[in-house]
Amino acid sequence: MPRLQLSVLSLRYSSWSIRAWLALEAVGAEFSVETARLEKMDRQQREVRSGKVTADLHADELASRRRKGSVTGLFPVLWIDDRPVHESMAILEWIAEAFPDAGLWPEDPLKRAQARGVCLEMATGFPRIRGELSCHVFARVPDYEPSPETRVEIGRIFEIWRDLLECHGGPFLGGAFGNLDCMFFPVITRFRTYDIGLPPELEEYALRVELSDPVRAWREVARRAPALPVYDEYIRSLDGDPEAALGHDRQEG
């Protein structure tokens, strides 16, 4: 097995870094983590799919990020024997192929194609959720009221989860814990942060993911990840607490 190093932003905030980390942990890979500490942080950095980040970064900052382990100036990047793979979906695909017995994708070809389609929808869609419900896994903003447009996207997430649980029979979105759950777990954290209630059957699914071994392992690492003041200030601007769930949260009983 090649030497693996995952270059990430702080696992407290970077939803894309979390996804790649979970997949590596789920297959039992041996890997190291290098957390990039960036001098110029902007709240828009969480919008890595919106196009705003790259437009707002100067060439010298992108070059600085590349020197810190990135390819495009964004994260995560999986280094495989010093050769980089960037973009979370590409990383998840490589992990699934390198560890075929782990079953990160459904075995049936049609279901596997559908799962990939849903993951790509997650990767490229839901701009309202990304923009309004910033990923901040240990923060809590009680009684937050999303905009009507964001509510529509939340409804679509619920629809996807219901369809997948029905199609695969649970307990996870693809049957066993896999890439589907890695892609959607950061959405669960967003719902927890902003006090978004889940329908009972989806609450059961969310709890199963939160109690899964990969997520438990990630949580311990994330607690030690560096804090980024600009993200914490955004939560405080909403009358929230950026560390409300840092020491003890519902997933631990």
pLDDT tens for 148-190 read 999 999 999 999 999 999 999 999 999 999 999 999 999 999 9
Q: Which of 1-15, 57-71, 122-136, 200-214 has the lowest mean pLDDT?
A: 57-71
Q: Which pLDDT value is given to residue 43? A: 41
Question: What backbone torsions phi and psi does residue 38 show, to the nearest 5 degrees?
Answer: -100, 135
Q: Which pLDDT value is given to residue 194? A: 98
Do the Cβ atoms of 69 and 77 come closer than 8 Å?
Answer: yes
- The CATH number corresponding to 4-100 among 3.30.2020.10, 3.30.950.10, 3.40.30.10, 3.40.1050.10 equals 3.40.30.10
Do the Cβ atoms of 14 and 135 come closer than 8 Å?
Answer: yes
Assess whether pLDDT exceeds 50 at residue 108: yes
Do the Cβ atoms of 226 and 249 come closer than 8 Å?
Answer: no
pLDDT digits (tens, 9 = 90+) for 60-85: 655 655 555 667 778 899 999 989 99
d(CA 214, CA 198): 22
User: Which of the two residues, 47 and 18, has the higher pLDDT score?
Assistant: 18
Assess whether pLDDT exceeds 60 at residue 41: no
Assess whether pLDDT exceeds 90 at residue 121: yes
pLDDT digits (tens, 9 = 90+) for 190-211: 999 999 999 999 999 999 999 9
Q: Which pLDDT value is given to residue 36? A: 85
d(CA 63, CA 7): 15
Q: Which pLDDT value is given to residue 37? A: 74
d(CA 218, CA 168): 25
Record: fold of 105-252: Glutathione S-transferase Yfyf (Class Pi); Chain A, domain 2 (1.20.1050)
Question: HSE-up of 56 (CA within 13 Å, CB side)?
Answer: 14
d(CA 248, CA 253): 9
Calculate the CA 40 to chain-centre distance: 22
CATH 3.40.30.10 residue ranges in the chain?
4-100
Contacts for 241-244: CB closer than 8 Å, 24+ residues apart: 241/139, 241/140, 242/136, 242/138, 242/139, 243/138, 243/139, 244/138, 244/139, 244/140
Instruction: Encode burial over 189-212: b for 16+ CB neighbours within 10 A, e otherwise.
Output: bbbbbbebebeeebeebbeebbeb
Structure tokens at 130: 């990304």
Full-model pTM? 0.88
Give the residue-averaged pLDDT of 211-240: 95
Mean pLDDT of the chain: 89
Q: Which pLDDT value is given to residue 47? A: 41
User: Which of the two residues, 51 and 18, has the higher pLDDT score?
Assistant: 18
Q: Which pLDDT value is given to residue 64? A: 59
CATH 1.20.1050.10 residue ranges in the chain?
105-252
Q: How confident is the model at residue 223 (pLDDT cuts 50, 70, 90)?
A: very high
